[in-house]
Amino acid sequence: MSTEENKDLVRRLVDAINNQSLDEPDILLDPDFRLNGEPVSLADFQEFVIWHASVLTELHISIEDIIAEGDKVVARLLRQGIHQGWLDVQPTGKPTTTRGIYIFRVAGGKLVEAWDTWDELGLLEQIGAVWKVEASEEAGSA
């Protein structure tokens, strides 16, 4: 597959998550898909999509950048939603904006692996679960 076709797989996956199109992962994800080295079944992935949309209502993920080379696709994502409970924090109803990066590997026309990282600390700050310490505060307490 071309790098453009590989990028299109990622775009289609993001669209499926945004639209909660639960059949689309069957087409896009390899049955032996792995996330951060761990196997994720198609059923588990579908459950994750449903859960994600319940803890962040009005969930929308945007691709800010997408880069492909060989069998890898890197996507810088923006996730927005209304907090309804996440990371053991009671629902706040606060709007959240979080950025993350995914690296996907493509083989046989499907996404076979992904590694991700998200700014979860930023999310916790937005919902008031942790407090941001400013550099001037740190200097004043020394």
Residues 14-41 pLDDT 10s = 999 999 887 877 899 999 999 999 999 9
Q: What is the mean pLDDT of residues 76-81?
A: 98
What lies within 8 Å, CB to CB, of 126 at 6+ separation is 83, 94, 95, 96, 97, 98
What's the pLDDT at 25? 77
Residue 74 region by backbone torsions, left for phi larger than 0, else alpha for psi between -120 and 50, else beta: beta
Burial of 77 (0-12, 13-18, 19+ CB in 10 A): buried
Order the strands of the 56-69 sheet from edge to edge.
38-39, 29-35, 110-118, 95-107, 72-83, 56-69
Q: Residue 56's beta-bridge partner residues? A: 83
Residues 88-135 pLDDT 10s = 889 999 999 999 999 999 999 999 999 999 999 999 999 999 887 776
